[in-house]
């Protein structure tokens, strides 16, 4: 009976306790890494918040329209607070993966490796899209000012179309950088871009027909008149 109890309960329990005791250092390492991640994340968040206050990032975001984008997305935070929290949780996510890796579980090693391979692409894609968004605003305003100066009736439409085209272009680049459906994204972007360009060409061709006629008459009307007068002058010869 004693042997039965030892083989059934005591020996498996002892083996479990040995495994737990051997695994405790890994658990302590995981907890330590998480605490370090919280401290570093909070420190970076505070420093970044002070830096944004120094450069008045929120006012700059209102000027370039970034605040409106956040508002339309349902985010009620200030742009500086949103970026600070985004950086904080991104850093903490990295430390979570490092903590998981500290457990030294073979089943999770592949997940951690895939994360660190994929995470830089996500960050690069977000940065590219944000840079494209800022560039689209600058180009849209430049086109709008130029179109208004030339008294083009479709100034707002052309400006908005330029902004959408630039956003679509950088969205395709960002998705390709992340690695989401590369061939599908490129093909879709090519089709959409070509369709929009064709639509713009037709719209400008139809809408700007009178404007083109006036411009041609203004610049070449005098030349035609002079040629006609010269022809009349020599018609009797």
Residuewise pLDDT in 10s, the chain (237 residues): 555 555 565 666 676 667 777 678 888 888 999 999 999 999 999 999 999 999 988 888 888 777 776 776 667 888 899 889 989 998 999 999 888 888 887 777 787 888 888 888 888 888 888 888 878 888 888 888 888 887 777 788 888 888 888 888 888 788 877 777 556 566 666 766 676 666 666 655 655 556 556 655 665 555 444 444 444 444 444
- Answer whether 41's CB lies under 8 Å from 21's CB: no
3-state secondary structure the chain: CHHHHHHHHHHHHHHHHHHHHHHHHHHHHHHHHHHHHHHHHHHHHHHHHHHHHHHCHHHHHHHHCHHHHHHHCCCCCCHHHHHHHHHHHHHHHHHHHHHHHHCCCHHHHHHHHHHHHHHHHHHHHHHHHHHHHHHHHHHHHHHHHHHHHCCCCCHHHHHHHHHHHHHHHHHHHHHHHHCCCHHHHHHHHHHHHHHHHHHHHHHHHHHCHHHHHHHHHHHHHHHHHHHHHHHHHCCCC
Report pTM: 0.61
Domain ranges of the chain: 1-104, 120-220
Measured CA to CA, the distance from residue 199 to residue 49 in angstroms comes to 45
Measured CA to CA, the distance from residue 79 to residue 234 in angstroms comes to 75
Measured CA to CA, the distance from residue 222 to residue 225 in angstroms comes to 5
Res 183: pLDDT: 64
120-220 classified as CATH 1.10.287: yes
Res 213: pLDDT: 62
Q: Which two tokens stand for residue 97?
A: 């993966």
| Token pair 């800022």: residue | 134
End-to-end CA distance of the chain: 139
Measured CA to CA, the distance from residue 205 to residue 189 in angstroms comes to 24
- Residue 102's CB: how many other CB atoms inside 10 A? 19
Name the residue among 55, 56, 58, 64 with its Cα closest to residue 81: 58
Measured CA to CA, the distance from residue 94 to residue 91 in angstroms comes to 5
Res 236: pLDDT: 46
Res 203: pLDDT: 57
């Amino acid at each position: 009976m004693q042997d039965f109890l030892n083989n059934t309960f005591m020996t498996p329990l002892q083996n479990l306790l040995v495994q737990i005791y051997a695994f405790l250092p890994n658990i302590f390492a995981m907890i330590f890494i998480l605490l370090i991640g919280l401290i570093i994340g909070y420190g970076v968040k505070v420093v970044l918040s002070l830096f944004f206050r120094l450069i008045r990032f929120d006012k700059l975001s209102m000027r370039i329209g970034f605040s409106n984008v956040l508002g339309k997305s349902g985010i009620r935070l200030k742009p500086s607070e949103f970026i600070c929290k985004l950086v904080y949780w991104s850093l903490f996510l990295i430390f979570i993966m490092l903590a998981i890796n500290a457990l030294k579980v073979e089943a999770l090693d592949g997940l951690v490796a895939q994360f660190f391979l994929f995470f830089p692409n996500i960050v690069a894609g977000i940065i590219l899209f944000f840079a494209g968004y800022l560039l689209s605003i600058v180009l849209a305003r430049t086109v709008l000012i130029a179109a208004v100066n030339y008294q083009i009736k479709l100034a707002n439409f052309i400006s908005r179309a330029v902004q959408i085209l630039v956003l679509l272009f950088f969205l395709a680049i960002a998705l390709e950088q992340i690695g989401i459906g590369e061939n599908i994204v490129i093909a879709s972007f090519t089709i959409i871009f070509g369709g929009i360009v064709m639509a713009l060409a037709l719209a400008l061709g139809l809408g700007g027909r009178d404007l083109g006629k006036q411009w041609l008459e203004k610049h070449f009307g005098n030349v035609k008149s002079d040629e006609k007068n010269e022809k009349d002058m020599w018609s009797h010869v």
